[in-house]
Structure 1
Amino acid sequence: MSDRSGEHGGPGLSSGGGADAGAAELADTPESWPVEGREEHFKGRIVEVRTDRVRMPNGDTTEVVQRDIVIHPGSVGVIGLDDQDRVLLIRQYRHPVGRLLWEPPAGLRDVDGEPPWRTAARELAEEAGYRAREWHTLVDVFTSPGMTNERVRVFLARGLSEIPEEEIDFERIHEEAGMPVAWVPLDEAVAAVRRGHIHNPLAVMGILSVYAARETGYRDLRAPDAPEG
C-alpha cells in the first residue's frame, strides 16, 4: 500500500518538489493585495461594515473584485481549569443565533493599550467572579477570515480562586445578568463538543486546545504575552 499521507495538505505536508515541510513552515504569513477603493456602509457601536475593491492576480492578468468586510476590535476568551481537571463555563443568551450558549468568559478588546491577557483577567472576574494565579496562551484564531478581521486569543487560566463578594465592584446587566457558572470535567466538555452540544467557537477551540495540551503535560504552552503572528 502506498503512503498517501502527503496528499491534500495532510500530515505529510509537502512543498515544491515533494520534500516534507518542517513544522516551522506550517504558518500563516502576512499578505496584502492592492485595494483600488472602498465604500463604508455601516458603523455601529462595535463593528463596521465596508466593501473593498481588491485587485487579485489571475494567471498573467489581474481583476478587481468586491469583498465585504466586517471590521471588529478583536476578542479574548478564558478557559479556567481547576485542580480537579474541570473547566469553567458560563451560560449566556446570544440573540443573533437565538440560543443560550455554554461559553468561556470572554469579551472585546476595547481598551486601548490593554494587554490581551489583562483583558481576559478582567472578563474572568466580571463574568465569572474568579481570579487566576497562572496564565498561558492557548490558541490564536481569526474567527471567520472570509468576512471579518476579528482576531481572538484564548487563554488558559489556572490557580483559580473566587473573588470575595466585598471586593466585587461591578454589576452584571443585560445578557450577563444572572449567568450561571458551571465547573465541567474536561473529558465531559470534550464529549459535549464532539456530540455537537457546544457551539460557541471560543468554547470549542479552547476546550479542545486544553485537551490537547493535557496530552503533552502542558509543556508547550506559550506565555500570556506571546507575540501574535
Structure 2
Amino acid sequence: MAFSSETGHRYEVVDSDIAFTGRIISVRRDAVRMPDGGVSQRDVVVHPGAVGVVALDEADRVVMVYQYRHPVRRPLWELPAGILDVPGEPPVEAAARELAEEANLTAGRWDLLVDVLASPGMTNEAYRVFLAR
C-alpha cells in the first residue's frame, strides 16, 4: 500500500505485522518507505472507533459523566461515549446506546457534530461526536 501526499512525497508500507492484540485494541508494526528511500518503523494503535454525545437538555445544559480512567489514574468529566464494539451497529445507534447506558437518557433528535482523529500520529481511532436533543 502506498500513499502520495499533495507535495508528491510517496510513503509505502513495505511490511506490516500485528505486534500485540488486546481486548479492544491491537498494535500494528509497519515498515514504511519514506520519500528519501529510507525505511522507518511505525507502531500504530488499531482501534475500532468510538462515539461521543453532546447531549443538551431543555435548558441547553450539556450532560457530562464522571468516571475513572485507568490510563491517567483518575476520574474525568467526559461526554457520554463508548467504542464501536457491536458489529454492524450504525454509529448513531451506538451513540444512543451509550447515552442510555451512561446517563440514563434518550434523545429525540440526533445530528452529526464532528469527526475527530485525536492522535493520528499513533492511532487510527476515529471518534464521531453527535449532538443529541
Structures share fold, TM-score greater than 0.5 = yes
Amino acid at match of 1:145: P
Structure 2: distance between partners of 1:57 and 1:153: 32
**5+ residue gaps in structure 1?**
1-31, 159-229
- Is 1:107 the counterpart of 2:82? The answer is yes
Amino acid at match of 1:33: Y
Tell me the residue number matched to 2:42.
Answer: 67
Q: 2:52 aligns with which of 77, 81, 86?
A: 77
- Is 1:135 the counterpart of 2:104? The answer is no
> Structure 1 residue 40: deviation in Å?
2.0
Structure 2: distance between partners of 1:140 and 1:108: 14
Tell me the residue number matched to 2:19.
Answer: 41
> Structure 1 residue 39: deviation in Å?
3.0
Tell me the residue number matched to 1:56.
Answer: 34
Q: 1:126 aligns with which of 101, 113, 119?
A: 101
Structure 1: distance between partners of 2:48 and 2:11: 22
- Is 1:147 the counterpart of 2:125? The answer is no
> Structure 1 residue 112: deviation in Å?
1.5
> Structure 1 residue 55: deviation in Å?
1.1
Amino acid at match of 2:111: H
- Is 1:89 the counterpart of 2:64? The answer is yes
Structure 2: distance between partners of 1:125 and 1:39: 38
Structure 2: distance between partners of 1:39 and 1:133: 44
Structure 2: distance between partners of 1:49 and 1:43: 7
> Structure 1 residue 127: deviation in Å?
0.8
**CA deviation string 1:8-32 (max 9, x = no partner):** xxxxxxxxxxxxxxxxxxxxxxxx8
- Which TM-score applies when normalising by structure 2? 0.89
> Structure 1 residue 145: deviation in Å?
0.3
Per residue, is there more strand in 1 or in 2? 2
Q: CA RMSD in A?
A: 1.2
Structure 1: distance between partners of 2:18 and 2:54: 36
Per residue, is there more helix in 1 or in 2? 1
Amino acid at match of 1:134: R
Structure 2: distance between partners of 1:119 and 1:70: 22
SS at match of 2:64: strand
> Structure 1 residue 129: deviation in Å?
0.4
Q: Taking CA–CA contacts closer than 8 Å with sequence separation of 6 or more, which of the two structures ends up with the larger relative contact order?
A: 2
Amino acid at match of 1:140: D
Structure 1: distance between partners of 2:34 and 2:99: 42
Q: How many pairs were matched up?
A: 124
Structure 1: distance between partners of 2:29 and 2:110: 38
Structure 2: distance between partners of 1:33 and 1:73: 24
